[in-house]
Structure 1
Amino acid sequence: MITKERLDPDKIVDTALAFADAEGLAAISFRKLAAQHDVTPMALYRHFKDKDDLHAALADRLIANVVLPEPTDEPWDRQLHALLTAFVNALRAHPRLADLTLPRILVAEPGLAMAERALELLVKGGFSVDDAAEVGRQSFCSLIALVTTDPIVREVNDPEAREASIRRKRAGLGALSPERYPLITAAADSLICSSSQERYYEVGIDLVVAGIRGVVA
């Protein structure tokens, strides 16, 4: 039996992350975590008062994994692109938990540092402080959605079941009339699942930054 002193909250978070990555957020329970660490569920309550507290710790871990780029002499939008890419990269490691991060950005210290840097760049780009706050909030929301709606992540984990699901979707679009829907049928494979996950994220981040430039213009 692991004693109170040996029950490391960081290791509990590690285990919870593994459960969520494999089965989703709903797979995390104090009972399963306790069994994994050979303790009673009550032992976990010494570190996390409830499931919401544990979820906050998971979100904080993701945000802490954001590697903020150092300031450079590049234009503000290029630096912002690098910052947003760093945020997305951290979320991609645990996409099923990306939704948890938004309410923690302005609570966790790493999130505050990231938000301050983003606001600084937006103000440098010509936004007022209030407009920078709104643009920043919506940009982070958009990128969280980009991760949670990743077509590859949204498919089931089992490779055979994933391939079967993609085949069914491909068959559905393949049954459409190319005369009536020429572009949909031509782009069927890309519409069903992006041919490149890297390209999927590159386009998503580029669109957000391009939109920000368009708003300030």
Structure 2
Amino acid sequence: MYRVWLSIMKKSGSDGRTRERLSREAIAGGAVALADAEGLEAVTIRRLAQDHGVSPMALYWHFKDKDQLLDGIADRLFNDVDLPPVSTEPWPQQLRAVLQALLAALRPHPAVAGLVTSRILTSEAGLNIAERTLSHLRQAGFSPEQAAEIGSYLLGAVVTLVTCEPGQRHGEDDEAHEDAIRVKAASLGALSPRRYPNIIASSGALAACASPDAYYSLGLDMLITGVSGIATEAEAAS
């Protein structure tokens, strides 16, 4: 996918105006595509400049260092979150819809999903997500302090769902991906049946999700059920 993205960018700049076309958003998009294909460690300003056929200074105009580039990547992910409109549905359903929107934006980009955890309050798009999350938690009866703690946990949990998906694809090589899954399943299946009977029984699911959609749906269900249970217990105790 990164090669396809790069090809499109180069064609759009084939008239010699490549540098002018390298907006902050385009650079961040290229960084995300590169991380998807080769991992976050491959993303450097020098590498992006080389792939675009420009000098690093053309990118430093937008990002002074790699930390700022990582900020730009996180901002790009937050901007991809399509927040649902506020509705009259009960707060658990609305909160789940917000988490689902965040998950949909992060799920295609596991290599960079972890960047959003510490950056949600540093961009307008991230602030909008945080505000909606806190609003629904306040509707549930949580104090501002509790809402902040629970909201932070929920964000981290969504990120963990994405980064820890069993059998997650790394790079673009289908054969290597399938080989890695087989090796992991075989390694787990070869453990001592007397010491690890349950790991062996679950070896296939631990190596790769039979249904990634079901995996993510279950994850969101557990998060919302947990928060709802805490809210119910607090209300009963008050």
TM (norm. structure 2) is 0.84
Q: Deviations over 1:74-130 (max 9, x none)?
A: 110111011101101100121110111122211111111111111111011111111
Query: Residue 187 of structure 2 aligns with which residue?
Result: 172
The CA deviation at 1:175 is 2.6
Amino acid in structure 2 at the alignment position of 1:97:
V
1:22 aligns with 2:24: no
- 1:213 CA displacement: 1.4
Contact 2:87-2:94 at 8 Å conserved across structures: yes
Alignment partner of 1:207 is 2:218: no
2:161 aligns with 146
CA change 1:181–1:54 in 2 (3 A) is closer
Q: 2:39 and 2:219 mapped to 1: Cα distance?
A: 23
Give matches, 1:1-217, under 5 Å: 2=17, 5-153=20-168, 157-178=172-193, 181-216=196-231, 217=233
Change (3 A) 1:4 1:186: closer
Letter in 1 for 2:149: E
List gaps (5 residues or longer) in structure 1. Answer: none
When the two structures are superposed, what TM-score results if normalisation uses the length of structure 1? 0.92
1:109-157 Cα distance to aligned partner (Å, 9 max, x none): 1111111111111011111111011000111011111111112326564
Deviations 1:29-87 (A, max 9, x none): 22221122221111211111111111101100000111111111211011101110110
Contact 2:25 2:76 in 1 (8 A): no
After superposition, the C-alpha distances for 1:16-40 in whole angstroms (9 at most, x for unaligned) are 1111110011111222211222211
- Relative distance call for 1:122 and 1:90 in structure 2 (3 A) is same
Q: Which amino acid aligns with 1:74?
A: E
The whole-number CA distance in structure 2 between the counterparts of 1:88 and 1:16 is: 20
Instruction: State how many pairs are aligned.
Output: 217
SS at match of 2:118: helix
Greater mean alpha carbon deviation, residues 189-198 or residues 165-174: 165-174
Structure 1 distance, partners of 2:202, 2:21, is: 55
The Cα shift of 1:174 comes to 2.5
Residues 2, 39 of structure 1: 8 Å contact kept: no
Q: Distance in 1 between matches of 2:143 and 2:37?
A: 43
Counterpart Cα distance in 1 of 2:27 and 2:196 = 51
Percentage of identical aligned residues: 47
Mark the CA change 1:80 to 1:127 in structure 2 (over 3 Å): closer, same or farther. Answer: same
Kindly provide the CA deviation profile for residues 141-199 of structure 1, in whole angstroms up to 9, marking residues without a partner as x: 11111111112326564222222222222222323455654433332211221101111
Rounded Cα–Cα distance in structure 2 between residues aligned with 1:5 and 1:178: 62
Structure 2: which 5+ runs fail to align?
1-15, 234-238
CA contact (8 A) 1:34 1:40 kept: yes
Cα RMSD (Å): 1.9
Answer yes or no: is the 8 Å Cα contact 2:103–2:162 preserved in 1.
Answer: yes
Amino acid at match of 1:34: A
